Amino acid sequence: MESARPSHYFHTHRKFLWVLCISIIAFLAMATIARMSFFGTSTSAPHLAALLSQPQNQLPSFHATDSVLVVAPHPDDECIANAGAILDAVRAGASVHIVYLTYGDNFEISYWAAKKVPAFTPSQFKALGELRHSEAISGATSLGLAPTCLTFLGYPDSGTLRIWDTTWKPGTSRLHIPLDSRSVPYADALTPGSPYNAGAVITDLEKVMKACSPTVILFPSPLDLNPDHQSAYLFVTAALHDLNLHPSRYTYLVHEHHFPVPHLYNPLATLTPPAFVTSLPVGLRNLQLTAGQVALKYTTTMLYHSQTKVDYRLLASFSRHNEVFFDDEHPLLSSTPTPFSHIPLEFLLEHIDKNVELRAVGATRKDPQTLRLSMTFAAPPTVDSVAEISVFPMTPGAPFAQEPKLVISLQHGKEARTVDLVTETSVATSVTTTLNGADVTLDIAIPEVATATEIMLNVRAGYRGLPQYSTPWQVFSLASP
């Protein structure tokens, strides 16, 4: 006969069971969250896959008469996002050229993975850039391209968007701390010694475009979360404007939340864009790959050893039976507000109710000398919030680098400040700002702005001195003056 157990035994036993149950529930909840983070939400995948399969959404075929220019912010972007397109173009007999905005030299983890020691010195970061340069040549050779089909510009990795946002005045250059340099340090770059200045980047891209005269251009989407991808889109758009070139333009996406889904090598899966993209006025383009092309794309991706050692799952997840592109469209602004494209905010920013993201924008000409921009924000500015609106006009016949680059700072209860980045001087007297709740009207009385046919817009928001959110840059068309 079993002896009676003391009462504290049952209390302890029940307590243990409760702790065990709670631990199991917590574990399952965390596993669910982790799975969602890893695999992403896939409820819209069938709808997106069906959308991509429609005939009108297929990327047009390449022809022998085409000249295809692929713009890669870093060595590997040309492969993971465009290898299938490159293979199709080569098979069609088209000429293909790849231009790299950077050498990909500012990636400490990559250097550590490749060299087994951390990177601290400019020479170490430069060595990483040279390693990635050699990987790009190996990758291009695998895809059927000779090294002469590649051009490297050598601008600062993780620093090109800062150049775009700040460094336009002639004669100025931005310091890139990892390389301790203000100019391109690579002897085999297109223009060694070129200053880290926005105008210099555009000039180099124009040299490449003049040499290859592209009929098709594949370049990063402005919706990409990586700053070098965002700037590549902007620099390419500016160069095409200057040269008055009008190739077929398609953008691609690499860095975005829950993309690709899942982060796994799955050659039979469909690459679908993030669900929020389908709510934007952006045309989708699908390129179907053969099994042989998918296999070759994966094999080529594995040649970028410095990257696959760091993030194999992400890079391998692009080797699927299709590639996704987007039409590069510039919506026409009018007096009727046009929705402004924005990347969904993180959970925290969505719920603190302090964001001042731009929701819609309209444009009219108040008079022949004044462009009026009407903007609607998510919420009125407060004493704690600041919004910086960047307005970069594009005027026919005017070199983009010399046109005004206006940055307008708005804060509740304070007079708006406006600076032209090209001259680094205040032009506040030429810009009149009217605040009405969440609506902001900008009357810009500057000739180059009043006569512009396109305009680039961006809004950066801050709260209590901390950067909070930056909308994607977006290019809009304007009605002719």
pLDDT digits (tens, 9 = 90+) for 371-427: 999 999 877 777 777 788 999 999 999 999 999 999 998 877 678 899 999 999 999
Domain boundary among 309, 327, 345: 327
Token pair 């049952």 in the structure block, residue: 10
User: Domain check: are 290 and 426 in the same one?
Assistant: no
User: Domain check: are 312 and 421 in the same one?
Assistant: no
CATH number of the domain enclosing 447: 2.60.40.10
Does a structural domain hold residue 23?
no
CB 94 within 8 A of CB 62: yes
Q: How far apart are CA 183 and CA 211, in angstroms?
A: 23
Does a structural domain hold residue 434?
yes
Does a structural domain hold residue 19?
no
The pLDDT tens digits of the residues spanning 164-200 come to 999 999 999 999 999 999 999 999 999 999 999 999 9
Which candidate, 383, 265, 390, 282, places its Cα nearest to that of 320?
A: 265
Q: What is the pLDDT of residue 48?
A: 80
Q: Tell me the pTM.
A: 0.88
Q: Is the pLDDT of residue 370 over 80?
A: yes
Non-local (6+) Cβ contacts of 306 within 8 A are 107, 110, 111, 113, 114, 128, 131, 132, 135
- Label residue 24 by pLDDT band (50, 70, 90): low
Q: How far apart are CA 128 and CA 115, in angstroms?
A: 9
User: Domain check: are 111 and 74 in the same one?
Assistant: yes
CB 179 within 8 A of CB 185: yes
Please provide the average confidence, as pLDDT, over all residues in the chain: 87
Q: Which domain holds residue 183?
A: 46-327
User: Domain check: are 232 and 357 in the same one?
Assistant: no
User: Domain check: are 236 and 374 in the same one?
Assistant: no
Does a structural domain hold residue 379?
yes
Q: What is the pLDDT of residue 281?
A: 80
Instruction: Fill in the amino acid letter for 292.
Output: G
User: Domain check: are 79 and 110 in the same one?
Assistant: yes
Q: How many domains does the chain have?
A: 2
- Label residue 6 by pLDDT band (50, 70, 90): very low
Domain boundary among 327, 342, 358: 327
Does a structural domain hold residue 336?
yes
Angle between helices 305-316 and 108-115 (to 10 degrees): 120
Q: How far apart are CA 409 and CA 300, in angstroms?
A: 46
Q: Is the pLDDT of residue 3 over 50?
A: no
Read off φ and ψ for residue 435, nearest 5 degrees.
-105, 130
Which candidate, 366, 414, 410, places its Cα nearest to that of 390?
A: 410
Instruction: Fill in the amino acid letter for 212.
Output: C
Which candidate, 76, 123, 82, 140, places its Cα nearest to that of 104?
A: 76
Q: How far apart are CA 342 and CA 169, in angstroms?
A: 29
User: Domain check: are 55 and 164 in the same one?
Assistant: yes
Token pair belonging to 434: 């009217």
User: Domain check: are 303 and 435 in the same one?
Assistant: no
Domain boundary among 327, 352, 386: 327
Total residue length of the chain: 481
User: Domain check: are 204 and 284 in the same one?
Assistant: yes
Determine which of 42-46, 85-89, 243-247, 446-450 has the lowest per-residue pLDDT on average: 42-46
Q: How far apart are CA 444 and CA 404, in angstroms?
A: 11
CATH number of the domain enclosing 203: 3.40.50.10320
User: Domain check: are 323 and 354 in the same one?
Assistant: no
Q: How far apart are CA 382 and CA 385, in angstroms?
A: 5
Does a structural domain hold residue 15?
no
CB 152 within 8 A of CB 186: yes
What ranges in 93-224 are assigned the alpha helix state H?
108-115, 122-142, 160-166, 198-212
User: Domain check: are 101 and 144 in the same one?
Assistant: yes
User: Domain check: are 357 and 291 in the same one?
Assistant: no
Query: What's the average model confidence in pLDDT over 66-79?
Result: 98
Does a structural domain hold residue 137?
yes
Q: What is the pLDDT of residue 346?
A: 54
Does a structural domain hold residue 125?
yes
The pLDDT tens digits of the residues spanning 82-139 come to 999 999 999 999 999 999 999 999 887 777 777 777 777 899 999 999 999 999 999 9
